Structures are given as C-alpha cells and as structure tokens.
Amino acid sequence: MADSKLQVLFDQVVDRNPGEAEFHQAVREVFDSLAPVVAKHPEYTDAAVLQRLCEPERQIIFRVPWTDDRGDVRINRGFRVEFNSALGPYKGGLRFHPSVYLGIVKFLGFEQIFKNALTGLPIGGGKGGSDFDPKGRSDAEVMRFCQSFMTELYRHIGEYTDVPAGDIGVGGREIGYLFGQYKRITNRYESGMLTGKGLTWGGSQVRREATGYGTVFFVEQMLSAAGDSFDGKRVVVSGSGNVAIYAMEKVAQLGGTVVAFSDSSGYVVEEAGIDLATLKEVKEVQRGRAADYVERRPDAAMGSGGSIWDVPADIALPCATQNELDEAEARVLVRNGCRIVAEGANMPTTPAAVRVLADAGVLFAPGKAANAGGVATSALEMQQNASRDSWTFEYTEERLEEIMRGIHDRCLATADEYGLPGDYAAGANIAGFTHVADAMLALGVI
Ligand code: NDP
Ligand code: 2IT
C-alpha cells in the first residue's frame, strides 16, 4: 500500500481478524483508493472513521439445527454481520453455500456499506448467511432449514433495524419460507423486514431482474461514454443464477449476443447465442446443471478445459462468485480483445487480474458500483412497503435505470475530481466512502 498510515491501519485489521482472507482483500481494495482522500480530509483520521468502518457494529453467530428427510438431525452455522447503520437500517443479502464462514460474510458486509452508500438511498450495510448447502435438498428440507434459521434471526432484524434479502443460494423460495416464519413468530405482517418477496405478498416488480439488469445498464453507460453501444457485441457471462440470467436477458434486449455461461460444473458455449427460455427452464424450474442445457440445445457444447474466460468476447460479466477471474484468465481476456469487464458478482476479479486489465486499458466496473441495482431495487421495495403501494414494472425499471446512471456518473465524476479519469474502481470506493464517512462524522463517536 502506497500510504504508510493506511498500511498501519490495514495491518491492524489483519491482526484483529485472523484467517479471514476475503475480508482482508475487500478492505485492502478500498484502502488502496483512499490515500488522496485521507490526505485531503484529516477529520476522517481524527475521528477514527476507518477503524470504526472496519469493525462491525454487531456480529451474530448462531446454531441452526434442522431435521433432514431421513429424520437425521443436522447442524449448520448461521451468521448476520450488522456492519454499519450510519445511512439507514443494515441492508444486505443472505448467502447459503457450503463455503460460507465469518470471513466471507464480513467481506460481503464490508462491500455492502459502500455499495449501498453509492445508491444514494437510505440503507446501511450488512450481510448474513449459512454454510448450509441447498443443492440436492428437497423443498421440505429447505423449508425446515429456513424456519430454524429465522427462529434465531428474527430477534435481530426488522423494518427499522436490519433488512435481509437474497444472495447465492437464497432466492424466491427461501425468502418465502423466511418471511413466513418471521410473520408467524412475531404475529406481524411487517413487509419491509425482508426484500426479494413474491409479487403477491409485498415484493417489488423488477427486484428479481434488478441486479443483472442494473449491471448491464451500467455497462450501457460505460459504452455510451465511449461513444459505443451493445449492438453486435459478443458477451460472456459467468454463472447461471439470478444475477447471470437477468444480465443475459438485458444484454439480448440491448442488441448484444451472450455466447457463454457457466455454473460450478463447467461452462457452455453456443455461438448463435444462449437461449434464455431454455436456460430459465433448466435453472429456475428444474434446478438442473449446465449439462442439462447442452442436452436440449444441439448447437451448444460444454467448454473443454480452461475456463469460461477462454471464450473470446468484447465484454465479460463475471456473475458467479468471488475470485472467479484470476490474473492468467485476465491475460487471456485481454489477448482476445476484451474491452470491458463489469462485476455482476461481488469481488469476482482478483486484485492481480484487476491490475492486468488496468494495464491493458480494459474498462473495469467494480461490483460495488455495477451490481448495486439489486440492493437499490430492494430499497425501492422497502419504499413501496412503507407506503403500502406497488409500482408498475415500467416505472420501477425506469427508477433502476436512473439509479444506475447516477452511480455511473458519480464514479466518473469522483475519479475525475481525484485526478484518476476513467478509474471506476477508485471513483466507486471514494464516492461510497465519503458518503458514509460524512454521515459517521455527523453522528458522533458511536
Ligand atoms: P445464485 O445462487 O442465483 O447463482 C450463483 C451462480 O454462481 C450459480 O450459477 C452457481 O453455480 C455459481 N457459483 C456459485 N458459487 C460458485 C463457486 N464457488 N464456484 C463456481 N460457481 C459458483 O446467486 P446470485 O446470482 O444471486 O449471486 C451471484 C453473485 O452475485 C454473488 O457474488 C452475489 O454475492 C452477487 N450479487 C447478488 C445479488 C442479488 O441480488 N442476488 C446482488 C448483488 C450481487 P452452481 O449452481 O453450480 O453452484
Ligand atoms: O450483494 C448484494 O447487494 C445483494 N445480495 C443484494 C442485497 C439486498 O439487500 O438486496
């Protein structure tokens, strides 16, 4: 790290949070952008804003016992890290994946603070989840797990306190079971305590599509700033979950062609364009694997060897998980002529890969800006719940597009202000940080 004071603070974070590599990585990425900010604003240092930002306001870890379909008792670990509430109630998703541990939840919660600040909406940062693996579990097992998870979590959350939503492994089905259990325990139809709800029970139009659509709206702005458009572009999208599917849908609507997607079993290439109706059927209805898509599409094939980043593309959208695009893969993207990488997922590009892209002049949109459309639309869902209203698809999508345009312009303007034109990552980190830091100063030492 170039700045020695920031290096000392970063070392303290590592010492205080041993073994949490992803959290360290997320903190470093933000600190790497902040040297000119702390130089210009000594008041942040005087009030220990950075140290306070890196220490979650509250961390909850709990046992989640449940019974599987054979009658065997299973134990998982549940987490909710309430990171920062300077701007509003803690807000962020829940992730159910076997890799979840405190370091993952803290990296996601830390990122969420700045992302949520960038939206300009009144939401603080938090994240939660469990090492539960929903893959291969029956609906009844998932329901019992969600009910047990909420039986502990309910006492910590609420419309004005902490508002969870989905993330990896948590979609409409899980949100339904979680909402149902909260309603049952509290005897309150408190719609605004959870977002990503179904359209007939308090959910918002466009929330399901929002993260993927928002990422593509952000890229559309990047293209437009460079005098270009999606028309005729080849696009590669990793993952095939909520974010990936709706990113692919919006790319197709804007005239691009998505030629590859993936899941944890491998990647699929279809030169004429991935067929979304088939992919949705395989992923959203059957909960199937990449090979099930290939089986139904004669012109599609599983990629052999390497990774999805070997597929030549003008635009790459990593939409699966953290650290899924490394230095060597970034070099391949560059060699194949890729011009834009935008993160639909959280922290999918390793720091070394980000450097490769920057050195090659590839435009890079960090997740905390590019994928903020999901949480922004969650905040729109909260607005609708608070006013007992529900908006049309068209109106909500317009709001999302306007929010993404605002974030794009704020990133660029902030990068310009600090003499780093075109550096979206620095712009996002600095704009998100100053927004939350100013609120923290106003609220005193708490
Ligand atoms: P989903 O569970 O719907 O989909 C995740 C996709 O990524 C699946 O295709 C999955 O494959 C793949 N994947 C997950 N983990 C791994 C892994 N360890 N290795 C390889 N592939 C993996 O999740 P989302 O689409 O909701 O989330 C994707 C990313 O977007 C995450 O980083 C999340 O934090 C981020 N995000 C999500 C938002 C949302 O609103 N949902 C908002 C902003 C960011 P498989 O099924 O084989 O596991
Ligand atoms: O990473 C994210 O921004 C999300 N998973 C969505 C959070 C939310 O509260 O909608």
Q: Is the pLDDT confidence value at 430 over 90?
A: yes
Please give the number of the atom of ligand 1 that sits closest to the Cα of 348: 32
- Residues 260 and 303 sit within 8 Å (Cβ to Cβ): yes
Question: Cα(292) to centroid of ligand 1, in Å?
Answer: 18
Q: What backbone phi and psi angles, to 5 degrees, belong to 232?
A: 75, 5
pLDDT of residue 176: 98
Please give the number of the atom of ligand 2 that sits closest to the Cα of 123: 9
Average pLDDT over residues 37-44: 95
Question: Cα(241) to centroid of ligand 1, in Å?
Answer: 6
Counting residues of the chain whose pLDDT is more than 90, the rounded percentage is 99
User: Using a 6 Å CB cutoff, which residues line ligand 1?
Assistant: 93, 166-169, 171, 211, 239-244, 263-265, 319-321, 344-346, 371, 374
Ligand number, closest to the Cα atom of 96 = 1
Average pLDDT over residues 66-78: 98
Question: Cα(205) to centroid of ligand 2, in Å?
Answer: 16
- Residues 145 and 110 sit within 8 Å (Cβ to Cβ): no
Mutate to test the pocket of ligand 2, among 206, 375, 384, 400 (most ligand atoms within 8 A of CB): 375
Average pLDDT over residues 9-31: 98
The span from the CA of 383 to the CA of 377, in Å, is: 9
For atom 42 of ligand 1, the residue with the nearest CA is: 374
List, by residue number, the catalytic residues.
Answer: 127
Ligand number, closest to the Cα atom of 371 = 1
- Residue 218: both structure tokens together: 């952000």
Instruction: Decide: 119 in ligand 2 pocket, CB within 6 A.
Output: no
Question: Cα(68) to centroid of ligand 2, in Å?
Answer: 28
pLDDT of residue 138: 98
- Residues 74 and 66 sit within 8 Å (Cβ to Cβ): yes
Read off the pLDDT of residues 174-199 as tens digits, 9 standing for 90 and up: 999 999 999 999 999 999 999 999 99
Counting residues of the chain whose pLDDT is more than 70, the rounded percentage is 100
Domains, the chain = 4-188 (3.40.50.10860), 210-370 (3.40.50.720)
Read off the pLDDT of residues 248-285 as tens digits, 9 standing for 90 and up: 999 999 999 999 999 999 999 999 999 999 999 999 99
Q: Is the pLDDT confidence value at 33 over 90?
A: yes
- Residues 185 and 154 sit within 8 Å (Cβ to Cβ): yes
pLDDT of residue 1: 83
Average pLDDT over residues 235-260: 98
- With 0-12 / 13-18 / 19 or more C-beta atoms within 10 angstroms meaning exposed / middle / buried, residue 62 is middle
Read off the pLDDT of residues 92-108 as tens digits, 9 standing for 90 and up: 999 999 999 999 999 99
Mutate to test the pocket of ligand 2, among 97, 113, 167 (most ligand atoms within 8 A of CB): 167
Q: Is the pLDDT confidence value at 89 over 90?
A: yes
Ligand number, closest to the Cα atom of 170 = 1
Question: Cα(43) to centroid of ligand 2, in Å?
Answer: 31
Residue 319: band (very low, low, confident or very high) from pLDDT cuts 50, 70, 90: very high
Question: Cα(54) to centroid of ligand 1, in Å?
Answer: 25
Mutate to test the pocket of ligand 1, among 264, 293, 349 (most ligand atoms within 8 A of CB): 264
pLDDT of residue 32: 97
pLDDT of residue 362: 98
pLDDT, mean over the chain: 98
Strand order in the sheet with 266-269: 301-302, 266-269, 257-263, 234-238, 315-318, 340-342, 363-365
Q: Is the pLDDT confidence value at 2 over 90?
A: no
pLDDT of residue 384: 98
Helix (H, G, I), strand (E, B) or coil at 21: helix
Read off the pLDDT of residues 371-429 as tens digits, 9 standing for 90 and up: 999 999 999 999 999 999 999 999 999 999 999 999 999 999 999 999 999 999 999 99
pLDDT of residue 240: 98
Which 8-state DSSP code applies to residue 92?
A: E
